[in-house]
Amino acid sequence: MIFCRRIDSPVGPLMLAADESGLRHIEFRDNRHPADRSDWHGGDNDILNATEAQLREYFDGERRDFDLLLAPQGTDFQRVVWQELARIPYGVTISYAQLAQRVGNASAMRAVGAANGRNPLPIVLPCHRVIGADGSLTGFGGGLPTKQFLLRLEGALPGEQGGLF
């Protein structure tokens, strides 16, 4: 059984969904690729509790890495891309071309972009850290203002200078 919970966040409401195998979904209010929620039930489990707590710590600037049991559902290729997303450090951005190279197929930028766009666990699997080769903030399932917010939170917004000068 998949349990779900809606939580408030600085980027708007998030819907969390998990079963005994792990966290399955984090969805924004206007998710570009919403999940089929027909088998979701309101309820409570340890994974939802941990996810909510860790997301709050992340938004409060107290957490850089997530330690959650994850169970995203997708094709083999999508899962390889999502595993690579998890390796992008907090505060770092990479391009779609770099992500394609990291998954072993430098010419697969479109396929990587599509897999990135279908990421069912945004924020935790940080697809917001993937940007255009020119530093542009390209598509994001939660909308570009959300992507901008997340990158600014991490101090990784391209074109912005940190420090005193």
> What is the residue extent of each domain of the chain?
2-59, 76-153
30 pLDDT higher than 60 = yes
pLDDT bracket for residue 51 (50, 70, 90): very high
CATH for 76-153, among 3.30.300.30, 2.30.110.10, 1.10.10.10, 1.10.510.10? Answer: 1.10.10.10
4 is catalytic: no
From 17, 127, 130, 157, active-site residue = 127
The confidence score (pLDDT) of residue 64 equals 97
Quote the mean pLDDT of the chain: 92
Would you state the pLDDT for residue 43?
Answer: 86
pLDDT tens-digit readout, 56-80: 999 999 999 999 999 999 999 999 9
Q: How far apart are CA 3 and CA 97, in angstroms?
A: 36
Cα dihedral 110→123→151→67 (10° resolution): -120
Q: What is the pTM of this model?
A: 0.91
Is it true that domain 2-59 has CATH number 3.30.160?
yes
